[in-house]
């Protein structure tokens, strides 16, 4: 009887060992996939930034950089919008600061107007 319990214990150890090996493999695959996605996202961001250097004037780039500090999501939308318009040749290049202001105003219409009233 002690022989079969030793065999059973060895079998359980082997099964647990196999489970751990499979778990480590899945984690490694997930990590590699996450790193690939992160690298692709970084490469896309770099391409978008490089494209902005060609599309925007220096003043407009500075404005977009300030917008990006305060509203990163809005800045990404603006960059993607500008890239699409430039790709379709529907926008005059280079985009100056005034044009960027109009684009920002058009994309952020949902923001409420704030007025201060003196009582």
Residues with Cβ within 8 Å of residue 48, at least 6 apart in sequence: 79, 80, 83
Residue-wise pLDDT tens digits, 38-78: 999 999 989 998 999 999 999 999 999 999 999 999 999 99
Domain of residue 79, CATH code = 1.10.8.140
Give the pLDDT of residue 14.
95
Query: In whole angstroms, what is the distance from residue 69 CA to residue 49 CA?
Result: 15
Q: Is residue 87 part of a domain?
A: yes
Q: What is the predicted pLDDT for the residue at 1? A: 47
Q: How far apart are the first and last CA of the chain?
A: 93
Q: Is residue 24 situated within a structural domain? A: yes
Average the pLDDT over 16-30 and give the result.
96
Residue 119 has pLDDT above 60, yes or no: yes
Segments forming the whole domain that contains residue 32:
2-107
Q: Is residue 112 part of a domain?
A: no
Cα-based distances in Å from 54 to 60, 93, 97, 108: 11, 8, 14, 24
Q: pLDDT tens across 76-111, in order?
A: 999 999 999 888 888 888 899 999 999 888 887 665
17 lies in some domain: yes
Q: Does the pLDDT of residue 113 top 70, yes or no?
A: no
* Partners of 95 in the β-ladder: 56
Is residue 119 assigned to a domain?
A: no
18 assigned to some structural domain: yes
Q: State how many domains the chain has.
A: 1
Which pLDDT belongs to residue 98? 94
């Amino acid at each position: 009887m002690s022989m079969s319990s030793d065999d059973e214990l060895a079998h359980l150890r082997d099964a647990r060992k196999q489970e751990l090996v499979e778990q480590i493999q899945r984690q490694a695959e997930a990590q590699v996939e996450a790193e690939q996605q992160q690298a692709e996202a970084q490469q896309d961001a770099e391409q978008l930034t490089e494209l902005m250097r060609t599309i925007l004037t220096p003043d407009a780039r500075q404005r977009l950089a300030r917008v990006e500090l305060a509203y990163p999501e809005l800045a990404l939308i603006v960059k993607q919008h500008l890239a699409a318009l430039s790709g379709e040749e529907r926008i005059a290049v280079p985009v100056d600061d005034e044009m960027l202001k109009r684009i920002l105003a058009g994309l952020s219409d949902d923001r409420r107007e704030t007025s201060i009233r003196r009582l």
